[in-house]
Homo-oligomer: A and B are copies of this chain.
Amino acid sequence: GTKEHAMYGLIGKFTAAEGQRDALMGYLVEGSQNMPGNQSYVVAADAGDEVTIWVTEVWDSPESHMASLKLETVQAAIAKARPLIAGMERVAETAVAGMV
């Protein structure tokens, strides 16, 4: 089966309030710098519409991800981002098999 201590992945989808996708992506990128245990954090606009944002993350462990939510930088970004978020959905939690 999957290696026990595989890295932890997350795939999430945000729906931005109308006209706010770029601003919201900016806050997500801003808040995702220098998070201990984070191996990858990609913020991207769906090419098929004007409101969908995909966030794909890789962490060394689920614990590192949880801890990041308490970081001051992350909390500040979440506070700024929240008014621009019309919807949020966790698409997948994963065990990472390999990464380039």
Contacts and interface: CB of A to CB of B under 8 A. Distances in A.
Interface of A: 1-2, 6, 9, 11, 22, 25-26, 28-29, 32-33, 35, 38, 40-48, 52-54, 56, 58, 91-100
5 contacts: A25-B97, A25-B98, A42-B58, A43-B97, A45-B94
Contact of A54 (B1, B11, B29, B100): B11
Counting every copy of the chain, the complex holds: 2
Contacts of A6: 45
B2 A99 contact: no
Contacts of A98: 25-26, 28-29, 32, 42-43
Given A2-B45, A33-B100, A40-B99, 19 more contacts: A9-B42, A25-B97, A28-B98, A29-B97, A29-B100, A35-B100, A38-B100, A40-B40, A43-B97, A44-B58, A44-B92, A44-B95, A44-B97, A45-B95, A46-B94, A47-B93, A47-B94, A52-B92, A54-B94
